[in-house]
């Protein structure tokens, strides 16, 4: 059914592409797949999918009160900085992919952090989230920014009930957090517990200031002075000269669907290459419970990740041939390097402190409005709580840890440069079938693998989107395979015979937290799924 086609494709974009099919001579383009699933749907609907139920309610309220998807995205971005201060906030940045309406081309807003102009290799980049929200709202927003900030102010001032995830994150990062400045996170000297109420009065005052004086105050006003005075690495000049980058997305295709994702220096190219390699190997014909499937997805990840090291960087500093890198011909050449039976030689995948230290702190959300606008956005501080330094109630990022340790790398540190990132907000579309899907996940270097896996399950298994998200995942890194749950002994034995070390690693944070929504059919039905690994929630309503 058309409905299933859309949903399966969406999930397929979120999974890691590990597939097996014959020899290299068998590589060829596959036909478009049609899928259908039983999902809760909402005709002529709108919806929000996020990692936090409070943020979902904020977004739904904006949509119900006449705001569009960008209005809701602005409100949700600020709200997530309040209820998930470890994952994102006004001291960080992110990337937003906006599909203005059906039939138009998506637009990327890159408001990630940049290196300060002084050239010092510090850990905190110039924050971009606030200006990103200003620019995307200027281009598409309908409601006033004053109104869109109000929910976050209320949540910060009145407080919200802490969940176990936030409590655990605070406890785990307390060695990096200045407890004197963040004492409200540590009542009685201990990390605030799940079920208790967290009030953030200083953050509320900062948001009120932005509400009254405008978002640009963060870059040229009183707030800019406070940031610069309290953190010497970022100057008033750095803040004043910061600019959001607006561009076309990276674009590829997968089983008849157009795939749009964030371009360099983020990881949309890497995701598209993995998906197109999977199609070359006819992933739909592969036994996904086999060692060959896991092996091939791992080999595809190695090829795409290794290619990223030499080709992906800030395009303002190095020419990046995005169209070439996302072409079917280029993906086919990568796929032809893969052995279906043997492990490749060791690949370099990690070349930054963030990669080595497993920074996995991002938050993703998807929003669709009734008029066809879609937003897929990933916001981040890099590591959990970023640098751990709090100013005016918010944490500053440590995004510069994403620069390469190799000075000859195109991703080496330079003033005013934005480092590489694995974030991959994505939109999938098939105009012939009137289908569109928004998807993404946190997870650091594992993001492209997680997205590919989920998409494959959703597309080719006769299961719902939610079941595809809930399915156990695996991550392949060099000769090690991390598996979320126990698998049959015979499969473990087959993987070991191929030369892999198989490790059972059950961690909610390790395998991402996929968020997704789809809209399809003549009735523009909305359906979705949310990853329970990170308390994911989705909500939609229709005109009926």
pLDDT tens, residue by residue, 455-496: 888 888 888 888 989 999 999 988 999 999 888 999 999 999
State the architecture of 2-20+32-159+199-248+352-541 in CATH terms. Answer: 4-Layer Sandwich (3.60)
> Which residue has better confidence, 27 or 503?
503
Does position 245 have pLDDT exceeding 90, yes or no? yes
Tell me what pLDDT residue 331 has. 97
Q: Could you tell me which residues are beta bridge partners of residue 494?
A: none
Give domain limits for the chain: 2-20+32-159+199-248+352-541
C-beta atoms surrounding 230 within 10 Å:
14
Phi/psi region, residue 70 (left: phi>0; alpha: psi -120 to 50; beta: rest), is alpha
- Across the range 356-374, mean pLDDT stands at 83
pLDDT tens digits along 248-304: 999 999 999 999 999 999 999 999 999 999 999 999 899 988 999 999 999 999 999
Active centre residues (catalytic): 362
CA distance 462 to 465: 10
Q: Could you tell me what percent of the chain has a pLDDT over 70?
A: 88
Question: Looking at residue 41, what is its pLDDT?
Answer: 66
Q: How confident is the model over 494-536, as pLDDT tens digits? A: 999 999 999 988 887 889 999 999 887 667 788 899 898 888 8
Contact 218, 132 (CB under 8 A): no
How far apart, in Å, are the Cα atoms of 353 and each of 74, 112, 125, 453? 30, 18, 15, 26
The tokens describing 79, both together, are 């709200």
Three-state SS letters, 400-455: HHHCCCCCCCCCCCCCCCCCCCCCCCEEEEEHHHCEEEEEECCCHHHHHHHHHHHH
The pLDDT, as a whole number, for residue 435 is 87
Q: Indicate whether 3 pLDDT > 90.
A: no
Task: Check residue 144 and give its pLDDT.
Answer: 98
Burial class (CB in 10 A: 0-12, 13-18, 19+), 181: middle
The neighbouring-strand residues paired with 516 are 439, 529
What is the bridge-based pairing of β-strands 480-483 and 501-504?
parallel
Q: Are 489 and 503 in contact (CB under 8 A)?
A: no
């Amino acid at each position: 059914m058309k409905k299933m086609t859309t949903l399966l494709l969406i999930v397929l974009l979120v999974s890691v592409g590990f597939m097996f099919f014959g020899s290299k001579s068998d590589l060829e383009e596959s036909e478009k797949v049609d899928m259908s699933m039983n999902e809760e749907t909402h005709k002529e609907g709108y919806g929000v999918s996020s990692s936090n139920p409070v943020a979902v309610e904020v977004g739904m309220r904006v949509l119900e009160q006449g705001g569009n998807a960008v209005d809701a995205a602005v409100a949700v971005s600020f709200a997530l900085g309040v209820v998930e201060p470890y994952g994102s906030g006004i001291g960080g940045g992110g990337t937003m992919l906006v599909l203005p309406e059906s039939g138009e081309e998506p637009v990327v807003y890159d408001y990630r952090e940049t290196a300060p102009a002084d050239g010092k290799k510090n850990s905190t980049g110039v924050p971009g989230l606030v200006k990103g929200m200003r620019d995307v709202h200027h281009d598409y927003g309908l409601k006033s920014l004053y109104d869109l900030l109000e929910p976050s102010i209320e949540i910060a001032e009145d407080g919200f009930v802490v969940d176990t995830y936030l409590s655990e994150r605070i406890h785990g990062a307390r060695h990096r957090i200045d407890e004197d400045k963040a004492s409200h996170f540590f009542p009685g000297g201990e990390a605030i517990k799940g079920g208790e109420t967290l009030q953030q009065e200083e953050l509320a005052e900062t948001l009120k200031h932005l509400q009254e004086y405008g978002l640009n105050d963060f870059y040229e006003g009183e707030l800019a002075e406070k940031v610069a005075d309290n953190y010497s690495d970022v100057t008033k000049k750095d803040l004043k000269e910061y600019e959001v980058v607006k561009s076309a997305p990276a674009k590829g295709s997968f089983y008849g669907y157009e795939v749009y994702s964030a371009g360099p220096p983020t990881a949309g190219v890497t995701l598209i290459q993995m998906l197109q390699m999977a199609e070359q190997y006819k992933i739909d014909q592969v036994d996904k419970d086999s060692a060959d499937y896991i092996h091939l997805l791992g080999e595809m990840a190695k090829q795409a990740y290794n290619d990223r090291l030499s080709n992906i960087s800030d395009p303002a500093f190095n020419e990046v041939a995005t169209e070439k890198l996302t072409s079917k011909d280029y993906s086919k050449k990568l796929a032809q390097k893969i052995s279906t039976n043997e492990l490749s030689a060791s690949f370099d995948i990690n070349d930054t402190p963030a990669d080595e230290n497993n920074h996995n702190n991002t938050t993703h959300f998807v929003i669709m409005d009734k008029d066809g606008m879609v937003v897929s956005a990933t916001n981040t501080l890099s590591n959990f709580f970023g640098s751990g330094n709090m100013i005016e109630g918010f944490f500053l990022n440590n995004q510069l840890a994403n620069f390469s340790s190799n000075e000859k790398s195109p991703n080496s540190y330079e003033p005013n440069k934005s480092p590489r990132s694995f974030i991959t907000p994505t939109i999938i579309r098939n105009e012939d079938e009137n289908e569109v899907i928004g998807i993404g996940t946190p997870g650091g270097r594992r993001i492209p693998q997680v997205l590919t896996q989920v998409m494959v399950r959703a597309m080719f298994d006769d299961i719902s989107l939610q079941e595809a998200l809930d399915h156990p995942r695996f991550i392949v890194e060099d000769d090690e395979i991390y598996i979320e749950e126990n698998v049959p002994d015979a499969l473990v034995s087959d993987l070991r015979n191929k030369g892999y070390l198989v490790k059972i690693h059950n961690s909610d944070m390790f395998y991402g937290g996929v968020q997704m929504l789809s809209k399809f059919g003549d009735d523009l039905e909305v359906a979705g799924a949310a990853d329970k690994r990170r308390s994911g929630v989705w909500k939609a309503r229709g005109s009926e």
